[in-house]
């Protein structure tokens, strides 16, 4: 195993640390979706997590893992949304300041979520460079400590607890699927499957219009997507060195899906599970439906990553 | 207590009978909604129940309580939606035919749900008379046995199990709120609060545009609504003798809300709980928000009754 990668004990300890602050999210299923998929699917509903996304797990764990002295000037991050809310929530819990650098095109409910949690918001151009520069400035000015959205073992260990919980309730899963953006959830899920399951293989779904992880998984290097064009706004980032290394060792495959397939899966979840998810969150179900033969008659877990969608655009 | 009304033991036995066939639905909460309401609200998510509504509980219980010989020619009912699906599901479980008389204006997802469960569908004019005549014809023609949507103690005992589960997990509730249509859920909740809680008072929310229950509650007789005009399509029916008698004895008050208040509550649930509910289901939250002072700083349970809304009209 790689040096410093979260161990089984690390993930168990992480779970104990964050348990009082997170929701034990329900696991739902639907006969209709099982029929469509040709297998038994168990949905771990992280859209019903605090701040509406699994990111609460990693953000809270990373913040709680820091020494009191380290966080006295606050914590900061850059994020298009859900990790931003996670860091804002963690700061509120710790009673310290949060500084969030957000791209100017971040979805409104994610922006509002951060504001309502009392964080200081700094908007930037929607590029990785602008985000990173924004954070650098904040650190220099305030002394706040940076919590990376995924290239951080405490964050990865936090995200790993979602599939740990899933496996506690469904120990016989043959496979677990997650979406992949920066790879925090996917690498954490890979670790949990390795540590807490005898047989569960881990797969990711990735949008065709942000297909960096599938390339990185083939080459073994952090690659960029050939082009960015997808409805799945939470999955635009590349992997990092830390997440890629874990993914190479623990993940079976990364499956590409189109935006049409993502939207069809999103509708199925709205209609048959009666819950609200964001487009990124529908990606693993889309991948499962596209690759039915791979999962035929199996027990499959899907981590539903989040539900922070702009309903005013969709509905009202 | 009234003769033949379900006893505590009846409800416990009912719960054991239907437990293998229903979902133990999750209980969700939201800091934001708590803040808005000025109390702690626990939502029992029956929109995540089989067939997307609490009605699965009563329908399945009523069907399973019949002798094998009684159901050999099938079961039948009239319903605008959720009870229809419950009876169709119960028939499928028992391997007998289901005949459903549905008003021609029933919401599409509820119609589709019934068809997908393999029931025989008979459309009628959207009046109570037409529905009842439709059922009479079916019984004469087929010998099927009628399961009333609410004027049936086995149905009431089934609906009572939702708040029994809620009280098992939240024994210190000060109040429980439900919507009221025919009164099956409300009377069942009244019984469960009486049997399984030391202090929980039971309230109903009712739409101003279908205000029969509030009148019946005052007069002690089954009254009709002065007029029918509401978005809450599941709450149009009057109470029955059986449900009214239990409600008179176990319910504290019935609170009226406008359609605007229902829509505002619906939005809160979509945004902050990340789940899909139908308009009828938002009525008790609307009533709570309108009467905050009644529930100030209390622990309040709300039965979210169902999620069968036509998403194609709302969203896609």
ipTM of the complex: 0.89
B137-148 mean pLDDT = 97
Higher pLDDT, residue A315 or A233: A233
List the Cα angle B264/A44/A171 in 5-degree steps.
155
Return d(Cα B225, Cα B234) in angstroms, integer. Answer: 14
Q: Is residue A142 over pLDDT 80?
A: yes
Q: CB-based contacts of B253: which residues, under 8 Å, 6+ apart? A: B203, B204, B217
User: In DSSP terms, which residues pair with A99 in a beta bridge?
Assistant: A76, A120
Q: Do B48 and A28 touch (CB under 8 A)?
A: yes
Q: Summarize chain B as % helix, strand, coil (round to 5).
A: 50, 15, 30
Q: Is residue A127 over pLDDT 90?
A: no
Q: What is the pLDDT of residues A174-215, one digit of tens each?
A: 999 999 999 999 999 999 999 999 999 999 999 999 999 999
Residue B55 a catalytic site member: yes
Return d(Cα B178, Cα B29) in angstroms, integer. Answer: 16
> How close, in Å, is residue A42 to chain B by CA atoms?
13
Q: What average pLDDT is seen over chain A?
A: 95
Q: Is residue A1 over pLDDT 70?
A: no
* Long-range contacts formed by A97-103: CB under 8 A, 24+ apart: A97/A73, A97/A142, A97/A144, A98/A74, A99/A74, A99/A75, A99/A138, A99/A142, A99/A144, A100/A76, A101/A76, A101/A77, A101/A131, A101/A134, A101/A135, A101/A138, A102/A78, A103/A127, A103/A130, A103/A131
> What pTM, to 2 d.p., does this model score?
0.92
B-chain CB neighbours of A277 within 8 Å are 274
Question: Which positions in chain A have a beta carbon within 8 angstroms of at least one beta carbon in chain B?
Answer: 26, 28, 32, 47-48, 52, 109, 116, 267, 270-271, 273-277, 307, 311, 314-316
Residue B292 a catalytic site member: no
Asked if residue A114 lies in contact with residue A121, where contact means CB atoms within 8 angstroms, the answer is yes
Question: Which positions in chain B have a beta carbon within 8 angstroms of at least one beta carbon in chain A?
Answer: 26, 28, 32, 47-48, 52, 109, 116, 267, 270-271, 273-277, 307, 311, 314-316
Q: What is the pLDDT of residues A291-300, one digit of tens each?
A: 999 999 999 9
Q: Is residue B316 over pLDDT 70?
A: no
Residue B60: is it exposed, middle or buried by C-beta count within 10 angstroms (0-12/13-18/19+)?
buried
**Residue with token string 């929980």:** B200
SS3 A295: helix
Return d(Cα A235, Cα A180) in angstroms, integer. Answer: 6
The pLDDT of residue B313 is 67
Q: Is residue B218 over pLDDT 80?
A: yes
Q: Is residue A3 over pLDDT 70?
A: no
Domains and CATH numbers, chain B: 8-53+152-313 (3.40.50.1100), 56-146 (3.40.50.1100)
Q: For A75-108, give the DSSP string.
A: EEEE-SSHHHHHHHHHHHHHT--EEEEEETT--H
Q: What is the pLDDT of residues B161-198, one digit of tens each?
A: 999 999 999 999 999 999 999 999 999 999 999 999 99
Q: Do A311 and B267 touch (CB under 8 A)?
A: yes
Q: What is the pLDDT of residues B264-311, one digit of tens each?
A: 999 999 999 999 999 999 999 999 999 999 999 999 999 999 999 887
Q: What percent of chain A has pLDDT over 70?
A: 98
Residue B86's pLDDT band (cuts 50, 70, 90): very high
């Amino acid at each position: 195993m790689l040096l410093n990668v979260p161990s089984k004990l690390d993930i168990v300890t992480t779970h104990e640390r964050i348990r009082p602050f997170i929701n034990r999210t329900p696991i739902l299923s639907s006969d209709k979706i099982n029929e469509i998929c040709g297998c038994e699917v168990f949905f771990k509903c992280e859209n019903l997590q605090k701040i509406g996304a699994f990111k609460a797990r990693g953000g809270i764990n990373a913040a709680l893992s820091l020494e009191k002295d380290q966080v006295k000037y606050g914590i900061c991050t850059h994020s298009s949304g859900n990790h931003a809310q996670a860091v804002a929530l963690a700061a509120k819990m710790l009673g310290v300041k949060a500084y969030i650098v957000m791209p100017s095109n971040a979805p409104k409910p994610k922006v509002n979520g951060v504001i309502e949690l009392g964080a200081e918001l700094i908007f930037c151009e929607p590029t990785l460079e602008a985000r990173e520069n924004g954070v650098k400035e904040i650190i220099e000015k305030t002394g706040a400590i940076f919590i990376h959205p995924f290239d951080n073992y405490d964050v990865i260990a936090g995200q790993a607890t979602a599939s740990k919980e899933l496996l506690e309730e469904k120990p016989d899963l043959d496979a677990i699927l997650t979406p992949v953006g920066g790879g925090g959830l996917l690498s954490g899920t890979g670790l949990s499957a390795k540590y807490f399951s005898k047989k569960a293989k881990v797969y990711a779904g990735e949008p065709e219009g942000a297909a960096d992880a599938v390339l990185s998984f083939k080459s073994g290097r952090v690659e960029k997507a050939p082009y960015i064009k997808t409805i799945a706004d939470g999955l635009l980032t590349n992997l990092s060195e830390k997440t890629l290394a874990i993914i190479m060792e623990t993940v079976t495959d990364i499956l590409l899906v189109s935006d049409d397939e993502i939207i069809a899966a999103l509708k199925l979840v709205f209609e048959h599970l009666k819950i609200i998810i964001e487009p990124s969150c529908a990606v693993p179900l889309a991948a499962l439906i596209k690759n039915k033969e791979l999962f035929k008659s199996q027990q499959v877990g899907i981590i539903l990553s989040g539900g922070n969608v702009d309903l005013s655009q969709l509905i009202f």
